[in-house]
Structure 1
Amino acid sequence: MSADGCSDPSVVEWKDNQLMMMTACDDGRRRVYESGDKGESWTEALGTLSRVWGNKHEGPEKGVGSGFITATIGNGDEDKRKVMLVTLPVYSSKNGKRNENSELHLWLTDNTHIVDIGAVSSDKDVTASSLLYNSGGSETINEELIALYEKKNGGGESSHSLWSARLTGPLQRVKDVLATWKKVDDIVSKLCSSSIAEGSSPDTVCSAGKITAGLVGFLSGNFSDKTWRDEYLGVNATVNNDEAKKKATKTSDGVKFQGAWAEWPVGKQGENQLY
């Protein structure tokens, strides 16, 4: 079913009756599995969500349960999109040394793009979390996203306490990110349409179906301070060999390199490897 050494499973139903399961594993990663037969068999979701997030695997907190839900969210009916929301502890680093006190962060993904929405609580040493989402839809019931989490009590005690936080700000940030994803999807789709209008070859990506399917990042004209920013708000590229900031210059739709280059840090992102 899952690899040896994996525990603390969280299961959600995704699109087309597909099940997704997140586990915390002793190898220091969180593995995600998917099932298309109601849980009879499971396959690791390599290339999408599996092994993206780290898992602290030393000490008594090595099995921190994650909040893991699906929801359909957007600023309007036309902009709504089914997504997965995840709460997990993030350990910040300073001067190359990891802080042993974690912060609980909310993550957003549509099984292609992944964005860290940010901290949902200033409390440290969270040992488990869950998420609750109410879509509202009436005059008396408002849309709400709530995080429920367990944390260790201070003073060397071994006991735990439960806390909740209403995530009004993070929920709006989720909607803003989804609006950006839709905007960038439209831009990329129009690029493909322009290519077709100019008579592109039948073997190009434009002839293979929806160009945005599986597209995890898009680098275009958002460039400054040696950083080429992902339009999908995911992982940015870093420009190298341009200390004087003259070898890489912004153009109307990208960056022009003359002796410099950009590096997209796949596999070099620290605790959480988004791609």
Structure 2
Amino acid sequence: MVTDCVDGRKVFELHDMGETWTEAVGTLSWLSTDAPSDPYGRDYLLGSIITANIEGNDLILYTQKGRYPPGELGVPNAFYLWATDGNRTFHTGPLSVDDLDNPAFINTLLYSGDALHLAEARGVGANSRIYFSRLTEELVLIRFLVRTWERVDALFTMSHKPTDGLVGFLSNTTIGQKWIDDYLCVNATVTNGVKVQDGFNFTGPGSGAIWPV
């Protein structure tokens, strides 16, 4: 559960059917719990957060605002869908993009009957509306990625390597200066690196990789 607090937002969890809630230790990668206010005074970066069992795996799904197109400067203007199993985290989208007269502030994810839906409030005042959409392609992607996580975990298990707490794995797959995560979540960006078997060779000043996990 994510709740609004005086100093931002905090994540709480339970293990006894709702009798006792305790603040979660650490943070989820890429989850913004300290959300600034928009011009209308709302905490708007984090939209909705739910749990869902997909392909036999317990996941946390949430919507969070980012910039569209990616890399643009300015105020976050688009809601993206994020999914995590507590270790690996990935996102897809955008699910919606703001325009001047029709911004999105609040949304709710709904997972039921093996289907994922999004209800979203858009607009201001008398012009506000509720929009409802089915996230069919996004759910197909989530299922594919969960199966990929299981497959990569199984390969590590066969080689007697632990996977608890493993957020990603960089090996031999690259596209240009992108070092591809085998879990298909967060890739690394390489600068002035020389490709070698199973990685890159960093040889001098300014040579390295950024992996924002």
Q: Same fold (TM over 0.5)?
A: yes
Within 5 A, what are the aligned runs for 1:1-275? 21-23=1-3, 31-36=10-15, 38=18, 40-46=20-26, 48-49=27-28, 52-53=31-32, 55-60=35-40, 62-64=42-44, 66-74=47-55, 80-92=56-68, 97-98=73-74, 100=75, 102-122=77-97, 124=99, 125-135=103-113, 143-153=114-124, 159-192=127-160, 206=161, 211-242=162-193, 248-251=194-197, 254-257=198-201, 259=203, 261-266=207-212, 275=213
Q: Distance in 2 between matches of 1:115 and 1:188?
A: 20
> Please, which runs of 5 or more residues in structure 2 have no aligned partner?
none
Q: Distance in 2 between matches of 1:172 and 1:25?
A: 35
Q: Distance in 2 between matches of 1:171 and 1:236?
A: 21
Higher gyration radius (CA): 1
Residue 60 of structure 1: how far off its partner (Å): 1.5
* 1:179 alignment partner AA: R
Identify the structure with the greater strand proportion: 2
* 1:85 alignment partner AA: L
Residue 94 of structure 1: how far off its partner (Å): 6.9
Q: Distance in 2 between matches of 1:43 and 1:170?
A: 30
- 1:6 maps to what in 2? none
Structure 2 SS opposite 1:72: strand
Q: Distance in 2 between matches of 1:113 and 1:158?
A: 41
- Tell me the matched-pair count: 205
Structure 1 SS opposite 2:49: strand
Tell me the percent identity.
26
Q: CA RMSD in A?
A: 2.8
